[in-house]
Amino acid sequence: MSIAQNPLSVEVALPREGIALLTVEGHLDIDTATGLQHHLANQFQHGRRHFLLDLSAVPFMDSSGMNIIIRAYQQTRESSGSVHIIGPPPAVRRILDLTGVSITVPVSDTVDEALALVDRPRDEPEI
């Protein structure tokens, strides 16, 4: 499928200082993943260190999308930041679970849940 058939849309909001909420819509695959990568890099350059990725409108994600998420996770961890996935549909959640990405990168149902994880001290266990 070409990018014209399944364009990717990324909207960026700043719920708090240092935190970027990226709402992704469309297929996150080899044809579109670089768009998300550019948005993440831009926000990182502007001093954001915590990234909330709302994937609730992403019906399909392949390994290209997962690689972007893992790279963002690695980069933010080096600067005491974090990446959080919000609301992935069942097909995307299954891929995250099967590959183990959801073990490393926290998955939340809502933006508020993800923000609570950002606020939690690093040494405090998840509930």
pLDDT, one tens digit per residue, over 28-65 is 999 999 999 999 999 999 999 999 999 999 999 999 99
Judged against a pLDDT cut of 50, whether residue 3 lies above it is answered with no
Confidence band of 5 (pLDDT split at 50, 70, 90): low
Higher pLDDT, 114 or 7: 114
DSSP readout, 59-125? --B-HHHHHHHHHHHHHHHHTT-EEEEE---HHHHHHHHHHTHHHHS-EESSHHHHHHHHHS-TTSP
From CA 57, how far away is CA 55, in angstroms rounded?
5
pLDDT, one tens digit per residue, over 32-42 is 999 999 999 99
- Any idea what the Cα angle at residue 63 is, between residues 111 and 92, rounded to 5°? 40
Of 113, 62, 114, 71, nearest to 92 by C-alpha is 62
Arithmetic mean of pLDDT, 5-34: 93
pTM: 0.89
From CA 112, how far away is CA 19, in angstroms rounded?
13
From CA 126, how far away is CA 21, in angstroms rounded?
21
Alpha carbon distance, N-terminus to C-terminus of the chain: 40
